[in-house]
A and B are shown apart, each in its own frame.
Chain A
């Protein structure tokens, strides 16, 4: 799943045909080497898979820098990269909000506050935590919702990949769907989560190697940052190059949001929902080798996240200068074309191959993150708890491999669903507001309010999800209330889901029995479980590995980044 964003209601992922890249044998060599390495990682990781814990959670044994980079890479899918560049071409520097306020606080909260509960309780998935905190109904509902969402979003990634590859390289759509699906299927069935995570770490560096040269050349072309911001101020107005300009309550800006909705809506509801309860992300932290590494996973990821915004925003802004009509009816180029356009315009063969490889790697990693979390939830939380219980461990490893294959095939099928929505990112966010926001309410209430009863989890989740869907599909789509954009509607749906879920949880709790206190140890704030008592590993008491220091540094750094863009 990707960070919620909505680059442009009008922009389709249909890239313009003239974006065909002048690739040659050199670029294809670079791409071929990458595909060989991707599968090689799968084969090499195969021998490390002995138990189901190895297959689904890397045996809880990976170092923090690996899980941290995988945590950020799982988010840095190609839909995110192209979408955020599109966002910047359309809305300008407002894009930074999706990073500095829409990600960092939630990532730090996950690391400092929530990881002790997740990791210490030894749960293998986010739904399993709900099973312990609430009951099997909340567990089953969240598992099924998550499994559906993961497959749908893996399908979205695959579909987006096919469109981009068709435009850039001229491959027919079915070829890239089959090739990418086959590789993801191959390396996850072979090596399980370990090979998914290792490939994500690799992808992280390749995508940096692609985006840094692109941003540098882009900046040079428009006369550096000063030239860029002067041109944009002239063509788009001064607010375009500031983070907060025009966001006063009651004033009008293209984003359709004021500072309060940015802080509360994006910075709190949407971002906390995504970063703290989305298992595709949390799974990376759960595979860390100890509590300290688990806590540091999202914190280590926060530092690159602060700066990656420049690598997606600059190409978007440069495209807005070079193609002033981008995204409007007068231009062949859509907002989503920003990065492919600059690749074609600026990169010579060689670096071009790296950039194409990075983009394909990002698409595959975005899909793989969802597949590798889907197979875990489906096997551990649905199959092993409700369908075929109590079999030997090797059975569940075999089943995990089978369901991975089924999941990939299902996501190929759902790829076509994405085409009926006006834009892929909006589609993702629509789904996201339906699944993650109510999840987040249930978590936050359950974790901080001891009295929240066993039954309240299920009802909070159900009503929250339903409220968000009704708001979107009935109230907005039937024009009962007037919301200017899909993005506004998603946002209102998210709030509706949040409020409805919280109200229902409180109401249900007041009339049903609370969970006995002794069963809440380590699951509710203020209690501790045996798993949390684990002493810090050797070396983890070094000052630069203190979670609190890392976390607060990230928050302060993100706040400081706002300063140059606020005046």
Chain B
């Protein structure tokens, strides 16, 4: 059996990469993180607003549901805002020559 060389790998992977659909069809994870954390944030914040005395005592007098809920809500909104400000870039941009050094979201 002839040894498998680096050229074979380069050729195979380059060819597969040309046909790959991930870049074009995979959704943006920021949408999911944002959505889930907004939902969790709302649920946990509500639990914090309607907190019972027993739960307050358990958590050392800290309304931990409220603070965690607000923190999660803020994180969720951050991801949604990031997605809104810098939407998923179009997959193939070889012809696009506009210099944009801050393109965080690629």
By a beta-carbon cutoff of 8 Å, the part of chain A in contact with chain B is: 26, 29-30, 33-34, 37, 40-41, 44-45, 47-54, 58-63, 65-66, 121-124, 128, 131-132, 135-136, 194, 198, 201-202, 205, 209, 212-213, 216-217, 220-221, 289, 345-351, 354, 385, 393, 519, 521-523, 529-531, 537-539, 541-542
Contacts and interface: CB of A to CB of B under 8 A. Distances in A.
B68 A349 contact: no
B3 A135 contact: yes
Contacts of B47: 26, 348-350
Contact of B55 (A40, A220, A349): A349
Contacts of B43: 26, 29-30, 350
Contact of A30 (B13, B40, B64): B40
Contacts of B68: 209, 212-213, 350-351, 354
Contacts of B106: 63, 289, 537, 539
Interface in B54-89: 55-56, 58-60, 62, 64-65, 67-69, 71-72, 75
A60 B9 contact: no
Judged by DSSP, the binding face of B is: helix
B102 A33 contact: no
B93 to A, nearest CB: 8
A121 B9 contact: yes
Given A51-B16, A351-B65, A538-B99, A217 B6 contact: no
B59 A348 contact: yes
A50 B30 CA distance: 23
Interface string B8-32: 0110011011011111111101001
A52 B29 contact: no
Given A33-B39, A53-B17, A132-B5, A61 B22 contact: yes
Contacts of A122: 9-10, 13-14
Contacts of B44: 30, 350-351, 354
A393 B16 contact: yes
21 contacts: A45-B26, A49-B22, A50-B19, A50-B20, A58-B26, A59-B16, A60-B13, A61-B22, A61-B26, A122-B9, A122-B14, A198-B32, A201-B29, A202-B32, A205-B33, A213-B67, A348-B47, A349-B47, A350-B69, A354-B40, A523-B6
Contacts of A198: 29, 32
A348 B65 contact: yes
Interface string B29-53: 1001100110110011001100100
**Which interface class (under 10, 10 to 19, 20 to 34, 35 or more) fits B?**
35 or more
A303 B25 CA distance: 30
Contacts, number: 179
B58 A350 contact: no
A132 B10 CA distance: 11
Contact of B103 (A217, A529, A539): A539
A58 to B, nearest CB: 5
Given A213-B67, A346-B59, A47 B25 contact: yes
B97 to A, nearest CB: 9
Given A59-B17, A60-B17, A539-B103, A33 B3 contact: no
A201 B27 CA distance: 14
Contacts of B4: 131-132, 136, 385
Given A59-B23, A393-B16, A530 B10 contact: yes
B17 A217 contact: no
B16 A58 contact: no
Contacts of B95: none
The residue in B3, B6, B43, B105 that gathers the most chain A C-beta atoms within 10 A of its C-beta is B6
Contacts of A521: 6
A432 B22 CA distance: 33
B13 A194 contact: no
Given A122-B9, A350-B44, A350-B69, A48 B21 contact: yes
Contacts of B10: 121-122, 529-531
The 6 closest A-B pairs by CB, nearest first: A59-B22, A59-B20, A350-B47, A348-B55, A50-B21, A53-B16
B9 A209 contact: no
Contacts of A345: 58
Contacts of A59: 16-17, 20-23
Given A29-B43, A205-B37, A345-B58, 18 more contacts: A30-B44, A34-B36, A48-B26, A50-B25, A51-B21, A53-B13, A53-B16, A53-B19, A61-B22, A61-B23, A132-B4, A136-B4, A202-B29, A213-B64, A213-B68, A216-B62, A354-B72, A538-B93
Contacts of B99: 538
Contacts of B32: 37, 40-41, 198, 202
B90 interface: no
Nearest to B72: A209
Nearest to B69: A350
Given A202-B32, A354-B44, A124 B22 contact: no
Contacts of A131: 4
B56 to A, nearest CB: 8
Contacts of B27: 44-45, 48
A428 B58 CA distance: 36
B101 A209 contact: no
Nearest to B57: A348
